[in-house]
């Protein structure tokens, strides 16, 4: 089974270049300023113009690369439509920039609402809700004091202002692009109403971050909805995709390399989290805060720039166990939740 996942290409396209992965479909890659240092984007040839899938983050560098791509591999033909798989900055960051050039934005309603709301919600300091979230998660007083003073991440830092107006897609819709009909199937957990597009005419899937090879998409709980259960939604979606997955599907993911072997990958994705939940439940034989649960979940301590992503993912796993009655929680004198297995 170790060979069930296959990568037809062993290297990504170079910056400013494209690889034709199927007739009328180009694969391109844009840089990101983080540990996961790239995002894949795609261009579908509609004859008189292009439909793009995802955009990268907003930066001068990314815009320059797009200009090179449009005049180079896209042969100067106009970009007419942009499909955004989900609302995260590396996928929707330049939607407004393209819209300002007359490009039609196509997205799920939830993705558009989240992105537009977050771009407008610029905060110079951490909100009271965010600071309470960190307190409940067990961050020590020094870390909370630091977060109270520093400017938090804001969508507006890396996402272009988004004008009003978009074209909605929903579960079961069919789009035509790149000479193919694409069925919209929505995933949950990584981002609400994450669009995946399944070709009805061949074996391609435009997958965004819902179906990734080799790495797990971040499944996080945030101060906006601290009792959410995104991991439950993720596992439900993963199982829901299984009846539709074929060995010969060529999955075009938002990160890493295109791959085949989706039925095996779906099993692997679920088992990765189920194994983590088993380790976490064993760790909670004695009470711990979320901040004390990194090692059983990730098999290592997490510090630096990855700490925030690790924290929100840890809370997601704890909420999953809580909602299924496997753990309970109680507040300590410092206002942190202590979680314990039953």
- Please report the pLDDT score of residue 1 as a whole number: 45
- Please report the pLDDT score of residue 3 as a whole number: 61
Confirm if 198 and 186 have CB atoms less than 8 A apart: no
What DSSP assignment string belongs to 172-211? T-EEEETTEEEEEEEE-SSSTTEEEEEESSSSEEEEETTS
Domain ranges within the chain, ordered by starting residue: 19-123+154-285
Give the C-alpha separation, 255 to 204, whole Å: 16
Q: Which tokens in the block code for residue 3? A: 């060979």
Q: Which tokens in the block code for residue 188? A: 């949950």
Does this model's pTM top 0.85?
yes
The stretches in the chain having pLDDT less than 70 are 1-3
* SS3 letters across 290-337: HHHCHHHHHCCCCCHHHHHHHHHHHHHHHHHHHHCCCEEEEECCCCCE
Q: φ, ψ for residue 181 (rounded to 5)?
A: -100, 135
CATH superfamily membership of 19-123+154-285: Ribonuclease Z/Hydroxyacylglutathione hydrolase-like (3.60.15.10)
Burial bucket for residue 196 (CB in 10 Å: 0-12, 13-18, 19+): buried
């Amino acid at each position: 089974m170790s060979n069930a996942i296959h990568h037809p290409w062993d290297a990504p396209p170079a910056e400013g270049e494209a690889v034709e992965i199927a007739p009328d479909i180009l694969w391109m890659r844009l840089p990101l300023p983080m540990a996961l240092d790239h995002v894949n984007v795609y261009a579908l040839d509609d004859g008189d113009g292009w439909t793009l899938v995802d955009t990268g983050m907003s930066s001068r560098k990314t815009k320059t690369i797009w200009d090179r791509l449009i005049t180079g591999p896209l042969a100067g033909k106009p970009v007419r439509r942009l499909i955004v798989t989900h609302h995260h900055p590396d996928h929707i960051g330049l939607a407004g920039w393209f819209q300002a050039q007359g490009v039609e934005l196509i997205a799920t309603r939830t993705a558009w609402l989240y992105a537009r709301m977050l771009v407008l919600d610029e905060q110079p300091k951490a909100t009271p809700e965010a600071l309470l979230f960190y307190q409940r998660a067990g961050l020590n007083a020094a870390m909370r004091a630091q977060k109270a003073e520093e400017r938090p991440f804001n969508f507006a830092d890396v996402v272009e202002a988004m004008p009003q107006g978009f074209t909605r897609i929903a579960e079961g819709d069919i789009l035509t692009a790149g000479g193919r009909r694409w069925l919209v199937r929505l995933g949950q957990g990584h981002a609400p109403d994450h669009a995946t597009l399944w070709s009805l005419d061949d074996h391609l899937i435009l997958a965004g971050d819902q179906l990734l090879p080799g790495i797990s998409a971040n499944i996080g709980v945030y101060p906006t909805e601290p009792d959410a259960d995104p991991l439950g939604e993720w596992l439900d979606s993963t199982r829901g995709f299984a009846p539709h997955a074929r060995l010969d599907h060529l999955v075009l993911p938002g990160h890493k390399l295109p791959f085949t072997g989706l039925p095996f990958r779906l099993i692997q994705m679920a088992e990765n989290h189920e194994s983590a939940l088993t380790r976490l439940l064993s760790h909670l034989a004695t009470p711990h805060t979320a901040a004390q649960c990194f090692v059983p979940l990730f098999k290592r301590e997490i510090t630096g720039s990855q700490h925030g992503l690790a924290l929100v993912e840890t809370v997601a796993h704890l909420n999953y166990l809580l909602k299924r009655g496997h753990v309970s929680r109680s507040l300590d004198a410092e206002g942190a939740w202590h979680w314990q297995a039953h």
